[in-house]
Amino acid sequence: MSENRSYPAFVTVEGKVIATHLIEAPNRGRAVNKMLQWFWGEYKNRLGLAADLVTVGDPYYEVVFEELFNCNDKRNNYLDEQTLRRVVEESKGVLIPDTRSHVHHNPRRSLKRSKRRREYRITVLPNIHQSNTGIFYYRVTVTPQKSKGGTVKTKRKHRDIRLEAKTLPEVVEEIKTRRLRSENKTTSKIKRRSLKLLAHLSGMQKLNLDDQSYFSSILEGSKKQ
C-alpha cells in the first residue's frame, strides 16, 4: 500500500482564500479527488464551479510536461499559479493556460495544448489499441461478417470503445466491470477466450494448456516483439 503524502489545498473566492486543507493521499490525483469531494459536500453549488475556486499544490513535482501529457487527467488539473507557470515553461509553448468558458458537465481544464495533436493508434494487444495520447480503446465487432458460397454478403464492422484505464491490467478490469464483451457480436466462446488472452498478456492470469494452444500464433508473435 502506498504511503500517504501531504498536499496543501485551497478554496479561493474573488482573490480571497476562504478555506485551506492539508490533504493526505498517496498521489496528487487522489488528493484532487479528495479535495473535490470535500468541496462539493461542503458548498454544493453555492460558490460556483470547483475549477474556478479550488487549487491543490504540487509539492512533489508530480505534474511535469511530457509528450503524452494528458490535460484531462485529474492529476494535471486544479493547479496553483506556481505549478501552472512551471509546467507551461517546461512545455516550451506546447501547453498554455485554458481560459475557455465552461461547458455544461465539462469544466475548463488548467491547461490545454496550443495546437491540437493529430491522433494515431497502435495495437498493443488483440482488440486493444492505444493512441499517441495514451488513451486505450477496446475494439468490438458490431456486425459479424457473413458469407454464402464464398461470397461476402455482409462485411464485418468494428467500433472502438474509449476506456478510462491507464494500464493494461486496468483495461482488463474495466472491460469486465463495464461488461463490454456484451457489445462484441461474436460467439460467447470467442469473447471469453479473448478476455483470457488479455489477462494473460497483461500479466494478470496464466492461460490453461487448451487456450495456449488456441492462441499459439499470437503468443509466439508477442515473444518476438
pLDDT at 224: 46
Q: How far is CA 142 from CA 57, 64, 172, 179, 202, in A?
A: 45, 39, 20, 15, 25
Q: Give the contacts of 73 (CB within 8 A, at least 6 positions apart).
A: 29
Q: How far apart are the first and last CA of the chain?
A: 32
pLDDT at 114: 86
The answer to whether 101 and 55 are in contact (CB under 8 A) is no
Burial readout 140-162 (b: 16 or more C-beta within 10 A, e: otherwise): bbeeeeeeeeeeeeeeeeeeeee
pLDDT at 88: 95
pLDDT at 82: 95
pLDDT at 146: 83
Written as tens digits, the pLDDT of the chain (225 aa) is: 568 999 999 999 999 999 999 999 999 999 999 999 999 999 987 898 899 999 999 999 999 998 888 888 999 999 999 999 999 999 998 999 998 776 655 677 899 988 766 777 888 777 888 887 788 998 888 887 788 887 888 887 888 999 988 887 888 888 888 888 777 776 554 555 566 666 666 666 676 666 566 556 555 544 544
